Amino acid sequence: MQQRSNLYIFTFALIVCLACSIGLALAATALKPAQVTNSRLDVVKNLLSISGYKDQDIARLSAKEMLDLYKKEFPSQILNENNKPVERAWIEKELAMLGYPESDLKEQFDFEIVETFNKKINLIARRAGQKPEEYRARFATGKAGYRMIFMHRPAEEVDAYIIPIAGNGLWGMMYGYLALQPDLVTIKGVRFYKHVETPGLGAEAEKPWFTNMFIGKKILDESGQLRPVRVAKGKAASDAEVDGISGATLTGNGITEFIKKDLSAFEPYFQILRKLHTEDGV
Ligand SMILES: Cc1cc2nc3c(=O)[nH]c(=O)nc-3n(C[C@H](O)[C@H](O)[C@H](O)COP(=O)(O)O)c2cc1C
């Protein structure tokens, strides 16, 4: 067999590595737009589903029809850590100042621009050796980051207020949405769309048998104080609880905690909306 020199072997390996990395880089660049569209559609599908659109009807829609429906029926509001509404234009200006290309910003949906902004703030804070909260103090006080609240408004009236919910399950982050009826007290629906919990155990949280138990639960007690729904260990013992998932108490505890955290963060804004509704006689 022909003996190859070490130089030949290293050069060959280098060329193979270079060819692979160029291939991967090209594939990543080429697939980026499809990735962005898919994660955008994921958000929209979840919003449609939690607002009452049937899964089979959603599946029949093309990507364009879905995005058009979102633009038509789902106005949204960006809030800062103090629950003050923030204009998208302001975030765009800040991001442009931080060096983000303006042409990219124009194309982003509101929920994407908020994510970009929060990521950018965290990144800069880390690079500057500051805690994100300290850096964020330049924008506002508090620690919650900028947040989205979506409305489902199929006609004149708002039909649901939808907030993103996220936090730790047992194995990692869980992401979902919680929708409230227009009274901002009664839960209209809950969805979990991304998590790493164990199939058959914590992953049962995404199943309708579990999420349907949240429907109709009140987030305020009789005296009007926030009383977020809890996931029980075993059977629900009161109106404020839903049944736990057997063998997955820790996932349930996580859900209890982050629903409480997210509802508490939005509660001051909900209070303003409830007051407005009462004044309007709604
Ligand atoms: C392989 C494996 C996967 C598990 N996955 C989960 C999970 O996704 N969520 C969870 O709460 N507990 C999970 N558990 C069980 C927890 O370790 C813990 O025992 C359980 O949450 C206690 O719930 P229980 O009191 O309802 O039995 C898993 C256990 C094993 C061995």
201 lines ligand 1 (CB under 6 A): yes
| Per-residue pLDDT at 16 exceeds 60 | yes
Q: How confident is the model at residue 1 (pLDDT cuts 50, 70, 90)?
A: low
pLDDT for the residue 33: 79
Ligand 1: residue of 198, 210, 258 to mutate (most ligand atoms within 8 A of CB) is 198
Strands 230-231, 241-242: pairing is parallel
**Ligand 1 atom nearest to CA at 234:** 26
197 lines ligand 1 (CB under 6 A): yes
Q: What is the pTM of this model?
A: 0.86
Compute, in angstroms, the gap from residue 162 CA to the centroid of ligand 1.
30
- Beta bridge partners of residue 194, listed in sequence order: 175
Q: How confident is the model at residue 140 (pLDDT cuts 50, 70, 90)?
A: very low
Mean of pLDDT values over 228-256: 96
271 lines ligand 1 (CB under 6 A): no
249 lines ligand 1 (CB under 6 A): yes
Mean of pLDDT values over 29-50: 89
pLDDT for the residue 125: 75
CB 213 within 8 A of CB 238: no
pLDDT for the residue 74: 97
Mean of pLDDT values over 57-69: 95
Residue position matching structure tokens 């996932």: 251
Select the more confidently predicted residue: 27 or 131.
Answer: 27
Parse the chain into domains and list their residue ranges: 62-151, 157-280
Compute, in angstroms, the gap from residue 171 CA to the centroid of ligand 1.
10
CB-count burial class (<10 Å; 0-12, 13-18, 19+) for 101:
exposed
| Per-residue pLDDT at 139 exceeds 70 | no
Q: How confident is the model at residue 11 (pLDDT cuts 50, 70, 90)?
A: very high
| Per-residue pLDDT at 167 exceeds 70 | yes
253 lines ligand 1 (CB under 6 A): no
pLDDT for the residue 143: 47
Q: Which of 113, 50, 41 is nearest to 70 (CA)?
A: 41
pLDDT tens for 86-96 read 999 999 998 89
**Ligand 1 atom nearest to CA at 233:** 26
| Per-residue pLDDT at 141 exceeds 70 | no
pLDDT for the residue 277: 82
The per-residue pLDDT of the chain, averaged, comes to 90
